């Protein structure tokens, strides 16, 4: 086995990478990392000095590939799925990358702001900041709902890297600010939940889901 994924099952970015691996049907060895364990941190730091997961290590090529989006780009080049997660056609690929960035940088940013506040001690909590993040999250829902009115998947008719990003982030976001009236987004998320790759990732995270600060 030449591919190793350094990850934690609860991390949405690790889940994003896992979905792509399962979509591509690539054999790999999972390397569980607990960032609270110094030995695990040292193990992760040896392959990526930033000590952040996920990291894909390709032992045959002597490469360490950090960051979920870059991992998917790497897999798309080296181990493409039957339907590529990043299309060859440039305009279609640009749409995929835009939606990938949308879910990672916008939806995730506001979701994480709320989650991180829940982990702070009482004297450092920021109620105003939380309400602002929730309002921004609702704005991202409105945008996604409009886009998804005419699309089966995030970037078009084919499942792509953008959907790998969307699935775990939307799961956590919906627990913070429910989709509510955004019916297209809710229907899209139902399709994601039924996708075998995400269903597998979701099941694998179950033993750790109680660690999510639901509020």
Q: Where are the domains of the chain?
A: 3-78, 90-195
Q: Report the pLDDT value the prediction gives residue 83, as an integer from 0 to 100.
A: 85
Residue 124 has pLDDT above 90, yes or no: yes
pLDDT at 29 (0 to 100): 97
Give the CATH number of domain 90-195: 1.20.1050.10
Average the pLDDT over 174-182 and give the result: 95
Question: Has residue 35 got a pLDDT over 60?
Answer: yes
The fold of the 3-78 domain, in CATH, is Glutaredoxin (3.40.30)
CB contact at 8 A, 137 and 107: yes
Q: Tell me the per-residue pLDDT of 89-100, one tens digit each, with 9 for 90 and over.
A: 999 999 999 999
């Amino acid at each position: 086995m030449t591919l190793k994924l350094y990850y934690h099952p609860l991390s949405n970015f690790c889940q994003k990478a896992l979905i792509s691996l399962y979509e591509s049907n690539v054999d790999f060895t999972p390397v569980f990392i607990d960032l609270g364990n110094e030995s695990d941190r040292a193990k992760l730091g040896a392959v990526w000095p930033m000590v952040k997961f996920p990291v894909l290590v390709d032992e045959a090529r002597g490469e360490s590939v950090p960051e979920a989006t870059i991992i998917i780009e790497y897999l798309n080049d080296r181990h493409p799925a039957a339907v590529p997660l990043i299309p060859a056609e440039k305009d279609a690929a640009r749409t995929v990358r835009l939606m990938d960035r949308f879910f990672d940088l916008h939806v995730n940013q506001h979701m994480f702001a709320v989650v991180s506040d829940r982990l702070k001690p009482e004297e450092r909590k920021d109620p105003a900041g939380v309400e602002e993040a929730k309002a921004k999250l609702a704005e991202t829902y409105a945008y996604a709902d409009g886009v998804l009115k005419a699309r089966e998947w995030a970037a078009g008719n084919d499942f792509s890297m953008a959907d790998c990003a969307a699935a775990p982030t939307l799961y956590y976001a919906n627990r913070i600010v429910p989709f509510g009236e955004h019916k297209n987004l809710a229907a899209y998320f139902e399709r994601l939940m039924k996708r075998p790759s995400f269903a597998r990732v979701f099941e694998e995270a179950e033993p750790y889901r109680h660690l999510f600060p639901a509020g």
